[in-house]
Structure 1
Amino acid sequence: MSIVLAIDGMGGDQAPKIAIDGMAKAALRFPQLRFELFGTEEKIRPLLEQQKNLSTITRFHPTTEVLTSEIKPTAAIRGFKDSSLRRAIMAVHQGQASGVVSAGPTGAYMVLSRLILGTLPGIDRPAIGGLMPTFNGLKVMLDMGANVEVSAENLVEFAIMGVAFARTVLGIQEPSVGLLNIGTEELKGNATIKLAYQSLKESAFIPNFKGFIEGDSLSQGIVDVTVADGFSGNICLKTAEGTSKLLGHFLREGIERSFLSKLGVLLAKPAFNYLRDKIDPRRYNGAPFLGLQGVAVKSHGGTDGEGFLQAISVAVNMVEKNINASISHEILAFSSLNLTEEKLKNVPSETSSPVTEGVGVS
C-alpha cells in the first residue's frame, strides 16, 4: 500500500536541495512512497529533473511564496496563502497526502498545522516530540519547543501523548514517565509543574510515573518519556546539539595535533566510526507534532539530505503505525479512568450515613 507525503521543498537553510536529496534517498528506502512536492518552480524543477527515480512518484506543485524564519507566525496566518509550507499542510487537510514534512520555521509550521489540521479530541495543544539517544537506548522527550507557557493540564496531555508514542514507535508496553524539573524533591518547581506532578501521581493511568527528574538524567535514560514545557525542552535540545558539535570539534582538534594522533585514528577507526554515528544529529532528525489530526514532522533547518531522509522516515513510521489513533485511544482511556476515579471519590463510605454524616445528632 502506497504512502503519500507532502513535502515543503523551500524549508531549510539549504533548500530546496536538502528536500530533493532526502526524497531521492527515501524513495530507495521506501518503495511504497509517493510525494506531493511544493515549491518555487525555477529552483526546484532543475534539481527534480536530476533525480530520475523521483520522476514517476512525485507530483510537483509550483508555489509563489516562501515562509522564512524572519516572518512572524501571525503574519503566516494572515497572508502567504501560496507559500510552499501552507500548501503542503493543506494537502494533508484535503486528503491528498497522509503526512507533511518541512524544514521551515518552527513557529509558522506549528501555528499553521494547528490552524489547518486541528487538534485531536481531548488535546488542547499539540507538542513537539522527538527521540533522544541515551545510555539505555532511544527515549522520547516532549515538548521540545512548541509551547513556551503551559498549564498543568497541558503537561498531563504531553505525558499521555508521550506514552502513546513510546508504545507505538518504541514498542514499550508500560513506558516510564518523568517530569523535567530543577530537582527531584516534591517541594521544588513552580506551581504548574507541582500540580501536574500531583495529577500524574494520583492517577492510575500511568502506573510507571517516576516523578521529577533533572537535566543530567536525560542522557542516563532513566525514564522512557520525559515531559517538559517547550521553553525548557528546547533549551535541552539545543544544548544537546551544541554538546555533540563540541565533542566532534575537540575530537578533530585532537586528531590533528600530531602524527601519532593521526596514526591512532587509523588503528581505532571502527571505534571512531561508532562514536561518529552515535553523536550524528542527522540520525535523530525529525520531530513530530503530536496531537494533531494529521501527521506533521519538523526537520531541522540546518540539516542535509541525509537528515531530511530521517525526517521522512519518521513521517512514514507514524503513518504506518497510525500514531494518531493510538494517541486518541490513550486520551479516551485517561478521560474514562479519571471520570471513574472522580465518581468513586464521591461515593460515601459504608460506615457513614448519608443523612447524619457531619451533623451533630444528640
Structure 2
Amino acid sequence: MSSQLFQPFALGALQLTNRIVIAPMCQYSAQDGCATDWHLMHLGQLALSGAGLLIIEASAVEPEGRISAQDLGLWSDANEAALARVLDAVRAHSAMPIAIQIGHAGRKASVARPWEGGAQIAPAAGGWQTVAPSAQPHAPGEHPPIALGAAGLERIRTAFADTARRAARLGLDAIEVHTAHGYLLHQFLTPLANARSDEYGGSLDNRMRFPLEVFDAVRAAFPADKPVGVRISASDWVDGGWDVDQSVAFTQALKARGAAYIHVSSGGASPLQQIPAVPGYQVAFAERIKRDGGLPTIAVGLITEAEQAEAILANGQADLIALARAMLYDPRWPWHAAAKLGAQVVAAPQYLRCQPREFKTLFR
C-alpha cells in the first residue's frame, strides 16, 4: 500500500503534492518588520525540502502586534517589498506552495528574543504599550495591557484585512490566521485572558465574536479561490480555560464562514499551563476537531518520525502533518521520510546526483 503521507491533498483549490506541512516558526530576525537575508536563506532551504506546503512565520499586522521588535511584519509597503524580494528568489527555484501566518501578539507583545531571555520589555525600558481584551498582564509583574475599545478593535480588524490584501498582492497561496498560543485572538477566546462584560466577553459566543470578525475580514480581503485556515490552541491546559469542546464549537463557526482547515496546537495562554510534552501530545485534539468540527486538520507537536506521521494519517486522526523543530534539525526530513516509506519527493535538478544508490526512485 502506498504511503498516506505522500498522497496529494487539496485545501480548496490549492493542490498539495503530499501531506507534509512546514509549520510557521518565528525567526526573530526582521528589521522593522522587513524580511532580511536570513529569511532568504531560511525559507530558501525549506522550499527545497520536498514538503507539500511551506507556511511563513507569524507576521504582525501592525507594529504593536509583534512579539518582539525583530518579528516579521506585513503592515507596510516596505515590509511587502522586502518579502517580495525573498519570495521572488525562492520561487525561482521551487514550485512549493507558500502560505503565511498573520497575527497580533496582544498582551504577549514587546518581549526580548528567546536567546536574549524572552522577558517582557516595558515601555519605560524601550518596549511598547501592549493591548488585550482586558487590562490583565500575561504573567505577574508584567506591565499591564490596555483593554481594547471600539476604535482599537476596528483598527485591528482593518489591519488584518490590509495584511491579507498585501499577501494577495505577493501571490501567496494561502493565509493562516493565528488564533493560538495566547496571542491576541486566543486572548479573546479564553476566559483566562478575557474578563470583558460587553458583547466580546462572557459567553462562548461573545468570546468567539472578535476572532470570527477578524476571520471574516481576512476571508473577504483574500482571493476567494485561495484558502484561509486558522491556527488554534485546542486547550489552555489550565482548569477553567479554553478547551477542546469550545475548540470544536469555534471550528464549526469557522467552517460556516469558509475556513479551509484548522491547524491544531495548544497552550500559551497562561504560565500556569501543565503540558504533557510527549510524542504526538496534541494529535488527539486534531482527531476530535476533525471528527466533530467538520474541517480538515493539521496535526503538529513532537511529531518527529516518518512512521509516526504515517500512522496518524492512516488512523484518520488528521489530514496533514506539520513539522517545526524537526524541520530545523533536518531540513531534508521529507526526503528521508520518503526513503523510509517507499515514496517520492520533488527535488531540485541540481541535487539529483545526491540520490543514494539504494533509493534510485526517490526523486521525481
Scaled to the shorter chain, the TM-score interval is: under 0.3
TM-score calculated relative to the size of structure 2? 0.26
Bigger helix fraction: 1
TM-score, normalising length: structure 1: 0.27
Max Rg structure: 1
